[in-house]
Amino acid sequence: MKNKITTMLVVSVLAAAANTQAASKSYVQTAAKSHSKAIVVDLPVNLPGLARRHSEAMYLHSNGSGQTFLYLEQDQGKTLAILNVTDLASIRELGIVSVAATSPYDFVQSLPDSAALIRYRDQSGFAIISFKRHKQPVLVATPGFLNAAISHPYGSGALFLASTSGYDIKAQGSQFQVIDVSKPAKPESLVTIEDATQSLERQDTGTLFLLGKTGLTVVRRPSVEEEYQLEATYID
């Protein structure tokens, strides 16, 4: 009877060891699936600590000197973690900085002079973050911006904001706004069209035609008009 019990214990121990080895092998195989001959996947555990924190959004910025940085929005928009991703085989932490965001936000689009437009998720409006000093990004409030439903780039230095979700609008009381963001540190509202009914864009000259309650407004880009005239003259 004693020999039988001993045999059963040995079998149980061997079975447990086999299960442990199988589980370990399964884990190794699962981990190995993050790499192949053609693709390398760096899991959070393989990245710097800041990359393992919860992030709301991210933004990729190249500084024009061959360096690229990834900014991770964290702490409900209050901080930005900075990773140097220039050498992808050796991603490095640069630190974490506070920004004056009032709530979590999304990066909407890139702007001139190393900046980005953000939109607050609580629908309270927009702001601009300057990455000119890549280790110390700065948030610029934009109190004059229309709390718009959509934003479109208008050339390289302007934004077109609309209170409804399209260029061709019919809704009563809609608004258009044109913002000069050629200097992101000092964005400027150029015009707000109240009770807008429609907008049209002439792409070859970079022109916007806006209908509002006071009539037609034309927003022009002289540099694009000059290019158009030169091309038209060359063709003629």
Query: Is 113 part of a structural domain of the chain?
Result: yes
pLDDT digits (tens, 9 = 90+) for 187-208: 989 888 888 788 788 989 989 8
Q: Tell me the residue range of the domain where 110 lies.
A: 47-143
CA dist 159 and 44 (Å) reads: 36
* 43-90 confidence digits (pLDDT tens): 899 899 999 999 999 999 998 888 999 999 999 999 999 999 999 999
- Do 92 and 162 belong to one domain? no
Residues 6+ apart with CB under 8 A from 5: none
The reply to whether 70 and 128 lie within a common domain is: yes
In a domain, 37, yes or no: no
Three-state secondary structure string covering 169-201: CCCCCEEEEEEECCCCCCCEEEEEEEEECEEEE
Q: How many domains does the chain have?
A: 2
